[in-house]
Amino acid sequence: MRRNTTMNFPSNTLARKLTVKPLTLSLVLASAITLAALGLFATRSLAADAAKPAAAGKPALTVALTQPRSSMLTIKLSANGSVAAWQEASVGAEANGLRVAELHAQVGDSVKRGQLLASFAAESVQADVALARAAVAEAQANAAEAAANADRARAVQGSGAISAQQVNQYLTQEQTGKARVESAKAQLDSQLLRLKNTQLMAPDSGVISARMATVGSVVGAGTEMFKLIRQGRLEWRGEVTSSELGRITTGTGVLVTAPSGAQMKGKVRSLAPTVDAATRNGLVYVDLLGAAPGVAAEFPAGQPQGKLAPSGGSAAHAVASVGAHFKPGMYARGEFELGSSGGLTVPQTAVVVRDGFSYVARVGADNRVAQVKVQTGRIVGDQIEIQSGVKPEDKLVASGGSFLSDGDLVKVVDAAKPGLKTSNMATDPVLPAQAASK
């Protein structure tokens, strides 16, 4: 029995192997079918994605459009120059050898004609005035005595009581007495004038620009003590090349801009008759009239000094006084208004500066962007002139062009639509065009 069991073992093992083999084949077949189905699904998905049109791409930016428009622009000529006083008066002492007792004006003070600027010690002058008055009284007494003697001589002139020579002497003494009275009065007037000069008065209304005097100093006649900007008037002296000087005429309007940004209107008063031989520039004298519209509140320019006739014979007009932003000696830039001409303008935000060149983003019918190089010109407010590169019918990106490149797809919306955004992020505001580094 043990032998039979041993002899049947190999046949049982072979039967088991034959029983398992059909199951393994079934599993392998099922896996192959599954992988084939997955591959077919993936192939169809890729084919569907490839069949989508390219135009369905995501827009790079949401923009509003603008078009160039024809406008009348001012023809301007720019120049640089200095602000100066229209006339600067030198105020000096007229009395000689007097001590400065008190100063009544400081640099920057506005003064009126006849206002007291300085006082001198007047004690010595007052003593001289008293002596002159006494001399007048003495001369008048002597003249009265001489007149009485002359009258008596005339009364007895024909009687022979006195000689003709004595009569002539009395008459001469009368005339000499009168002359001495007049001389004494002249001396008194001179001393009274010295007494008046112990008070230094402003010769004209204006602004004190300099003070050289000090209290306690003894000054001589003619010593400069103050400098006064007459009537507070300012002028701008623009330097213009000889080739452009002929384009400017008397009465031409000028807009002068200070380094602080303050602006003041002006009018050409006169042109220099000569041109500097070294620089080939000529001076244009411009009366500053007052603050330009819209900047008076932000940049106060002082009170006008009324209507004054400027030198050179031009008509009287209101002029500006020394203010907070325009002072003599200041360097300023001016623009002469020479007329006007037509041109195409676009908003400044539509122009992008890249590598020193100006570009605009033109949008085609397929909402694709094309960068166009343009030549810019004059600037008026928020508009800038386009001299070349675009046509009136072109549609341009109004702002945000610095974020776009050639071929970018954009979404166009109405500029007046509320909540307009310039990017795909809901919180991004509309951005103006800026210089880009692309």
Does some domain include residue 428? no
Question: What is the pLDDT, as a whole number, of residue 55?
Answer: 44
β-bridge mates for residue 155, sequence order: none
- How many domains, the chain? 3
| Model confidence pLDDT, tens digit, residues 245-294 | 989 999 999 999 998 888 999 999 999 999 999 999 999 999 998 665 54
Unique residue bearing structure tokens 């195409």: 344
Range from 7-11, 90-94, 428-432 that averages highest in pLDDT: 90-94
| Model confidence pLDDT, tens digit, residues 22-53 | 555 566 566 667 666 665 555 555 444 544 44
Question: What is the pLDDT, as a whole number, of residue 27?
Answer: 62
Does some domain include residue 431? no
Whether residues 294 and 377 fall in one domain: no
User: What is the C-alpha end-to-end distance of the chain, expressed in Å?
Assistant: 98
Does some domain include residue 418? no
Question: What is the pLDDT, as a whole number, of residue 232?
Answer: 86
Whether residues 248 and 199 fall in one domain: no
Number of C-beta neighbours around residue 433 at 10 A: 24
Q: What distance in Å separates the CA atoms of residue 398 and residue 68, rounded to the nearest whole number?
A: 10
Higher-pLDDT residue of 93, 290? 93
The residue-averaged pLDDT of 6-19 equals 44
Q: Which of 194, 228, 262 is the last residue of a domain?
A: 228
Does some domain include residue 94? yes
pTM score: 0.57
Contacts of 202 (CB under 8 A, 6+ apart): 91, 105, 111, 112, 113, 114, 115, 117, 228
Whether residues 97 and 222 fall in one domain: yes
8 A C-beta contact, residue 117 and residue 111: yes
Whether residues 94 and 137 fall in one domain: yes
| Model confidence pLDDT, tens digit, residues 175-204 | 999 999 999 999 999 999 999 999 999 999
Residue 107 tokens read as 């640099």
Whether the pLDDT of residue 322 is over 80: the answer is no
Sign of the Cα torsion 133, 136, 140, 141 reads positive
Higher-pLDDT residue of 31, 305? 31
- What 8-state DSSP symbol labels residue 403? G
Does some domain include residue 33? no
β-bridge mates for residue 375, sequence order: 388
Q: What distance in Å separates the CA atoms of residue 250 and residue 271, rounded to the nearest whole number?
A: 7
Q: What distance in Å separates the CA atoms of residue 200 and residue 193, rounded to the nearest whole number?
A: 12
Whether residues 217 and 345 fall in one domain: no
Whether residues 94 and 210 fall in one domain: yes
Question: What is the pLDDT, as a whole number, of residue 37?
Answer: 61
| Pairing of β 383-388 and β 317-318 | unpaired
Contacts of 366 (CB under 8 A, 6+ apart): 55
Question: What is the pLDDT, as a whole number, of residue 418?
Answer: 43
Report the candidate in 104, 113, 122, 94 with the shortest Cα–Cα distance to residue 211: 104
8 A C-beta contact, residue 350 and residue 66: yes
Whether residues 196 and 109 fall in one domain: yes
Does some domain include residue 31? no
In whole numbers, what is the pLDDT of the chain averaged over residues?
79
CATH number of the domain bearing residue 173: 2.40.50.100
Domain range for residue 269? 76-86+232-340
